[in-house]
């Protein structure tokens, strides 16, 4: 990777993914499709920033990594109900009304969680400065006891627990800017003093959570439909940033959902690429001051393919230090 472009030094940003993440699918009708990762790849090519990223293939997570978050029953439900691959046919096992398994779902889930864990290891060891995990299935709705909401296992939660238990970090922040509240992540770390969670999300909207004031370590910002970037930026500046600076996280994890984009029909918020770049810049500033720049970002939602690809590029440009030229 080039050390600099023009007069600006670029960051060492890794891009983790795995072909198995493209093989999990839940039917042609389903918005959480393999085409999402292809759209990101296409935009990386067209934007020409791919050459400034360090591409890494995700390893499969150890089941022990997943078991730090999910119960044996929740893991077995995914592992033991993957349909057999049938030539020329698609077979699915429904976990809920909008979350299913196909023949490749177990491998995809291991790759997604494995990307988050490997990126955590690499950032903490100083091999890279930050990382983006282009993975699916997503994770932030997955509860300790069950998969739900397109999510099989909670990738960010698994990585955070790895940072706490394996690497001994004592203060970790999770920032979630998906249009939906990350109920699984909040349930996992509710009132855990080693974790500070910051999120905004459209409310009311699935999963209709995030307003429980008994969770003392969450800065949740419920926002009405059609909220635009100006309001989101103001809310982040007033509520997230003071809390993050006061907490002084040793590492930051991002649940990077891009479905609050104005072109994404799964929600009704009104963000654009510049808003995602601005949010990422604020997170980067916190990380530089308190975390040695250490960030791991994992893909969550984003279902309009063009908007998703463009928004991920905007996010990556900031992570890689390429956004000022």
Active-site residues, by number, are 141
Q: What is d(CA 280, CA 302) in angstroms, rounded to the nearest whole number?
A: 16
Q: What is d(CA 181, CA 171) in angstroms, rounded to the nearest whole number?
A: 22
Q: What is the dihedral of CA 275, 152, 154, 175, to 10 degrees?
A: 10
Radius of gyration of the chain (CA): 18
For residue 139, give the nearest of 99, 86, 199 by alpha carbon: 99
Q: What is d(CA 294, CA 167) in angstroms, rounded to the nearest whole number?
A: 13
Question: How many other C-beta atoms lie within 10 A of the C-beta of residue 2?
Answer: 8
Distances (CA, A) of 47 to 116, 122, 179, 255, 308: 25, 26, 25, 23, 13
State the angle between helix axes of 105-125 and 155-165 in degrees (0 to 180), rounded to the nearest 10. Answer: 40
Question: How many other C-beta atoms lie within 10 A of the C-beta of residue 224?
Answer: 12
Q: What is d(CA 278, CA 232) in angstroms, rounded to the nearest whole number?
A: 10
SS3 at position 296? strand
Q: What is d(CA 299, CA 178) in angstroms, rounded to the nearest whole number?
A: 9
Do residues 43 and 313 touch, judged by C-beta distance below 8 A?
yes
Residue with tokens 């309009």: 304
């Amino acid at each position: 990777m080039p050390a600099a472009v023009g007069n600006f030094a670029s960051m060492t940003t890794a891009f983790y993914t795995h072909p198995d993440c493209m093989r999990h699918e839940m039917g042609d009708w389903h918005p959480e499709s393999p085409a999402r990762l292809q759209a990101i790849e296409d935009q990386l090519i067209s934007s020409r920033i791919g050459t400034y990223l360090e591409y890494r293939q995700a390893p499969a997570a150890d089941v022990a990594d997943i078991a730090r978050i999910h119960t044996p029953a929740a893991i077995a439900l995914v592992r033991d109900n993957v349909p057999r691959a049938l030539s020329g046919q698609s077979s699915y096992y429904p976990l809920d009304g909008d979350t299913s398994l196909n023949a490749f779902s177990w491998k995809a889930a291991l790759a997604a969680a494995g990307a988050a864990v490997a990126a955590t290891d690499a950032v903490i060891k100083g091999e890279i400065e930050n990382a983006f995990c282009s993975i699916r299935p997503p994770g932030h709705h997955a509860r300790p006891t069950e998969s739900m909401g397109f999510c099989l296992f909670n990738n960010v939660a698994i990585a955070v627990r790895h940072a706490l238990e394996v690497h001994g970090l004592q203060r970790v922040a999770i920032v979630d800017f998906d249009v939906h509240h990350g109920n699984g992540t909040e349930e996992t770390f509710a009132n855990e003093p080693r974790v500070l969670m910051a999120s905004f999300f459209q409310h009311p909207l699935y999963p209709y959570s995030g307003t429980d004031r008994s969770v003392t370590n969450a800065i949740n910002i419920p926002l009405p439909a059609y909220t635009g970037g100006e309001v989101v930026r103001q809310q982040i500046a007033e509520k997230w940033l003071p809390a993050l600076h006061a907490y002084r996280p040793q590492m930051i994890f991002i649940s990077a959902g891009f479905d609050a984009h104005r072109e994404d029909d799964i929600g009704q918020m009104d963000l654009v690429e510049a808003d995602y770049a601005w949010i990422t810049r604020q997170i980067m500033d916190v990380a530089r001051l308190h975390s040695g720049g250490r960030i791991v970002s994992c893909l969550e939602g984003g279902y309009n393919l063009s908007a998703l690809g463009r928004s991920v590029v905007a996010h990556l440009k900031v992570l890689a230090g390429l956004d000022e030229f």
